[in-house]
Every structure is written in structure tokens, then in C-alpha cells.
A and B are shown apart, each in its own frame.
Chain A
Amino acid sequence: MNVPARPPRNWMLLAGVTGLLVAMTVWSAYGIGFSLTEILCNIAGGTRLITESWPPDFGFLPRLAEPMLETVFIAVIGTVVGGILAIPVAVLAARNITPNKLTWFADRNFMNILRTLPDLFWAMLFATAVGFGPVAGALALTVFTVAVISKLWSESLESIDMGLPETIRAVGGTWFQMIQFGAIPQAVQHYVSYALYAFELNIRASVVLGLVGAGGIGMILETQRANFEYERVTMIILAVLVAVLIIEEISESIRKRLA
């Protein structure tokens, strides 16, 4: 038996898509005033920044311990509180176990709003409400965590086997019991995995939030940068890099073990 002739390629479509992509990129570059010549002319400034940033100021390291710890605290609070609040949000948004269509619809929209607004927005919002500092950061990350976990986990919940929830119904269980004994046990591993993932995101996010005054190491980074202490800035970046890598390594190894 012969392999049939290869179907002809759609050259027109290929050319069209490529052309469209090129056109969009050029237009966008023009739109933001992107120019290679300008970058090349300014490269000297970039080199100066790099030479001034080296070597890192290791003497500054001891003063980083406290703000670094604060960053981790902010992330921990955001992950724990947000992780707990995400449970009902995710359950109500899972089509197969939500009590009714209206609840599902309202909750879905609530989640969409949380997700659409960036963590920086929440940080500013809470900073206005409770003042600049780590509390605002923790609150912002709480909201961010709810957004991340509820979205991912509601999808896990939607893919569970409905046999067990039905069994809970059959023994005379309530809706709540169906959730607790029938649905959640099937998706609890996913939940832990997503919570750890959210924690990783939160560590990084809490550094960034510090830049806008929400406490932690980000705040130190911002003050040193504003004072042109580039060798200290390098030190801070290195410290953050090491801390983030360690935490991600730990979290990832736990998640792998769960999978």
C-alpha cells in the first residue's frame, strides 16, 4: 500500500500569517518609539551602571536579614489567609458541585475581577486603606492568592469523579458533606500543590510590592536605588535571587512528591 501524496501546503495562509505578524511588530515598535540607534547610543550609560554596581557590597548583607524575613512573612500570611479563602471561592466556581447556577455565575465574575486587577493595584489600594507597610503587602497578596488558587483549583474540582459525591448524597449527606467528603478529598493534592505554587509567586511578588512601599526587602531595594547605592542594590538582588531559588527548590520538591 502506498502512502498517498502529501497534501499541498497552504502557502497563502503561511505568507498571510507571517506578514500579519511582521506588520503588527513593526507598527507596535513604531508606536512606542522603539529605535535600535537610540539603544546603541545609550549603551554607554548602561555600561557605567554595570561597573558601578560591581562588586556587591557584602558589608550590607547583615542589614538585609530583617527585611528579607519580613518579605517571607508577608508571603506566608498572604498564602495562608488567601489559601483558606480560596477554598469556598473555588468550590462555588466548579460547575459540577456548585449549589446553583446563580451562585456559580456570581462567583465566576468575582474571580474574574480579582484576576483582572494586578497585585500592584491591590497593594496601592490597601496602602491607601491601612497605610504603607507590610500589612498592606500581606493583604494584597491575600487577594492575589485567592485569585491564583481559586482559578486553578476550581478546574481540578471540575475534573473529579462524581461517583463519590453522589455516594455522599445517597447516604443522606448534605451539600456541605458532599463537598467535604466527596469532592475535596479527590482534589486535595492539587490544592496543596497550587498553594505551594502560590507561595512561590508570593515571595517574588512581595519583593515587587516592596518597591511601591508595601514593606519587606523590596522597600530597601527601592531606597538604595534611589540613593544611587548600586553596589548595595547588587547585593540585595543577589540575596533575593538566592532566597527565591532556595524557596522554589523546596516547594518544587514537595510538589513533585505530591504528584
Chain B
Amino acid sequence: MSQNDPNKATGAIRFDKAGITYPNGVVGMKDLDLEITPGEFVVIVGSSGAGKSTLLRAVNGLNALTSGSVEIDGERVATHSNRELRRMRKRIGMIFQDFRLVKRLSVMSNVLIGRLAHVPGWRAMLNFWPAADREIAIDALKRVGIADKAWVKASQLSGGQQQRVGIARALAQQPAIILADEPVASLDPVTTHQIMRDLVRINRELGITTLVNLHFLDLAREYGDRIIGLRFGELVYDGSAKTVTDEDFRNIYGRDFTEDDLLEEEV
């Protein structure tokens, strides 16, 4: 399934002197220069409040920059035009810690939400989805292995299954980029590894640029290609997951790390 135009690699992200200062004066992002190439699997680490979510949410404009710019495939993420913003968001999937499903609707309906911006408004409104879009939704469910749950109510699924629906919803967007904001923070260790493996596999299979926020260091090391460390909204580490040292993590966190920073027990 080729989702992207084969002649043109998509999903490049570029931050240029990007900054976000919240109305209450808190600095969420400071002078960030960052370049992410299409198809990369990037893990973002940092203690809570370091600006991990802010960074992800700047990519799809959920948080607007207050200085600098962020570009996707050379196109600046709009801050004012809703229409422009919707057009860009259409190809950016997002996965959340709390899954964010419509619990009382079926899995299928939830995945079709990923098609909202791709179909004419009246079709979505009347729940009259084109066959092609239903096909895309089913493909997305197959890719995360829960196609058999298509007609089950979302609330009846386990946490891991709900997150898979979340991933399928993102895939249904046929995205160039997937943003995963602490995707495993409310899952048990076994399910955590399954979900992380799903994300990596999808990244490899479809070449979707993937940014994942994690707070467990061992997970970052195990699954990341590239690790980005944030501290107080600033980039303090950017390097390969293969070569990142404990010293680097200490620097990112500004302290010694403890068992709490690891998914598996021993330090």
C-alpha cells in the first residue's frame, strides 16, 4: 500500500528558531532548531514539563508558535488560516495517552473519524461514507490486527486494543507524519511493548515519519532510531539511540535517573 506520492518523499519536519511562550508566561519551547527527515522514527524524552507535548503539538498546530517557524515539507504550519491548518492536519495522525475514542461508538466509526477531512462534509455528517474510505479504515484495522473487532463498541475493548484503534484512526488518515504523545503511558508493560513494536513496524512498512514522546528511558533506547532530549523547552540532546549514554540521560533529566524512569525494574 503506497500511501505517499512515490516521486516525492513527504513527512519532513523543520523547526526554525521556534518558540512557544504560553499566555501565563511559561516557556514551552525555546529557540528550537530541528530537522527531521521523511520516514524517521524519533523518540522524544525529557522529564514532565520539559516540552515534549508542546513540540508534538506544534507540528500539527494544536499549539501555535509564538516565534520562529515550523515547516512540513517546506510549507509553513499556518497559525491563522483554519482552512490551511485543516489541510495540513489531514495528513498528520496523532495518537494520545488516553486513546481518545468515542467510547459509545463502534471501532469502525472511530477509525472513520480519521477520514473526516478526506470526504465531503455532508457524507461525514450523514455517516454516509464512500466505500473506498471504508476500505481504507478496514485496511488500517488489519494493519494493527484488530479487524475482527470492527463492529465492537470501543468501550468494550482493553486498553491495548483501544490504543490500536487509536493507531488505526491515525493510519486511516493516510498520514505522512504520526505524532504519538505518550502512547503507552496508560498501558501495562506487555501491552506497552506490543504497541511500541506496532509503531516501529508501521514506520518501517509505510515510511511514515513518526515522533513518539516517551518518559521511559529503556523504551527510548530500545525502539528509537534517533533520540531527542528536551529540558525546559530546549533541545539538549539529539543523537542516535544506539550511542546514547546514561550520562546523556542524566543531562537531559538534570538528575540521576531512577527506577521510575525505566519500564523494567533494574537500573
- A and B assemble together: yes
* Across-interface contacts of B101 in A (CB, < 8 A): 164
In the complex, are the beta carbons of B102 and A171 less than 8 A apart? no
In the complex, are the beta carbons of B102 and A169 less than 8 A apart? no
B121 at the binding interface (Cβ < 8 Å): yes
B72 to chain A, nearest CB (A): 13
In the complex, are the beta carbons of A173 and B102 less than 8 A apart? no
Q: Provide the B81-113 mask, 1 if CB < 8 A to any CB of A, else 0.
A: 000011111101110101011101100000001
In the complex, are the beta carbons of B96 and A167 less than 8 A apart? yes
Known pairs A172-B117, A176-B125, A181-B113; A163 contacts B96 (CB<8 A): yes
A168 at the binding interface (Cβ < 8 Å): yes
A28 at the binding interface (Cβ < 8 Å): no
Known pairs A170-B94, A172-B117; A164 contacts B86 (CB<8 A): no
Tally the A-B contacts, defined by beta carbons under 8 Å.
63
Main SS class of interface, A: helix
* Across-interface contacts of A172 in B (CB, < 8 A): 85-90, 116-117, 173
B169 at the binding interface (Cβ < 8 Å): yes
A55 at the binding interface (Cβ < 8 Å): no
Size bracket, chain B contacts: 20 to 34
In the complex, are the beta carbons of A170 and B86 less than 8 A apart? no
Known pairs A166-B62, A180-B125; A171 contacts B98 (CB<8 A): no
* Across-interface contacts of A166 in B (CB, < 8 A): 62, 100
Q: How far is the CA of A177 from the CA of B113 in the complex (A)?
A: 9
* Across-interface contacts of B113 in A (CB, < 8 A): 167-168, 171, 173, 181
Q: How far is the CA of A181 from the CA of B105 in the complex (A)?
A: 10
A188 at the binding interface (Cβ < 8 Å): yes
* Across-interface contacts of A180 in B (CB, < 8 A): 124-125
Q: How far is the CA of A176 from the CA of B124 in the complex (A)?
A: 11
B60 at the binding interface (Cβ < 8 Å): yes
Closest B residue by C-beta to A167? B100
Q: Which has the most chain A C-beta neighbours within 10 Å: B62, B116, B121?
A: B116
A18 at the binding interface (Cβ < 8 Å): no
* Across-interface contacts of B114 in A (CB, < 8 A): 171
Q: How far is the CA of A169 from the CA of B116 in the complex (A)?
A: 10
A223 at the binding interface (Cβ < 8 Å): no
In the complex, are the beta carbons of A169 and B121 less than 8 A apart? no
In the complex, are the beta carbons of B92 and A170 less than 8 A apart? yes
A131 at the binding interface (Cβ < 8 Å): no
A52 to chain B, nearest CB (A): 56
A88 at the binding interface (Cβ < 8 Å): no
A174 at the binding interface (Cβ < 8 Å): yes
A19 at the binding interface (Cβ < 8 Å): no
Q: How far is the CA of A188 from the CA of B105 in the complex (A)?
A: 12
Residues of chain A from 165 to 195 with CB closer than 8 A to chain B in the complex = 166-174, 176-177, 180-182, 185, 188
In the complex, are the beta carbons of A170 and B116 less than 8 A apart? no
Residues of chain A from 189 to 220 with CB closer than 8 A to chain B in the complex = none
Q: How far is the CA of A171 from the CA of B100 in the complex (A)?
A: 12
Closest B residue by C-beta to A180? B125
* Across-interface contacts of B96 in A (CB, < 8 A): 163, 167
Known pairs A164-B102, A185-B102, A188-B104; A174 contacts B62 (CB<8 A): no
In the complex, are the beta carbons of A170 and B89 less than 8 A apart? yes
Q: How far is the CA of A165 from the CA of B83 in the complex (A)?
A: 17
Q: Which has the most chain B C-beta neighbours within 10 Å: A167, A181, A188?
A: A167
Q: How far is the CA of A14 from the CA of B23 in the complex (A)?
A: 46
Closest A residue by C-beta to B89? A172
Residues of chain B from 161 to 212 with CB closer than 8 A to chain A in the complex = 169, 173
In the complex, are the beta carbons of B94 and A185 less than 8 A apart? no
Q: How far is the CA of A181 from the CA of B116 in the complex (A)?
A: 10
Q: How far is the CA of A180 from the CA of B102 in the complex (A)?
A: 11
* Across-interface contacts of B125 in A (CB, < 8 A): 176-177, 180
In the complex, are the beta carbons of B98 and A163 less than 8 A apart? yes
Q: Which has the most chain A C-beta neighbours within 10 Å: B62, B88, B98, B100?
A: B100
Q: How far is the CA of A82 from the CA of B220 in the complex (A)?
A: 55
In the complex, are the beta carbons of A171 and B104 less than 8 A apart? no
Q: How far is the CA of A87 from the CA of B124 in the complex (A)?
A: 19
A63 to chain B, nearest CB (A): 46
Given contacts A169-B62, A170-B60, 20 further A-B contacts (CB under 8 A): A163-B96, A164-B100, A164-B101, A164-B102, A168-B113, A170-B62, A171-B90, A171-B94, A171-B113, A171-B114, A171-B117, A171-B173, A172-B86, A172-B116, A172-B173, A173-B113, A177-B116, A181-B102, A181-B124, A182-B102
Instruction: Name 13 A/B residue pairs within 8 A (Cβ), A-sorted.
Output: A163-B100, A164-B102, A167-B96, A169-B89, A170-B60, A170-B92, A171-B173, A172-B85, A172-B90, A176-B125, A181-B113, A181-B124, A185-B102
**A-B CB proximity, top 4 nearest:** A172-B117, A172-B89, A172-B90, A167-B100
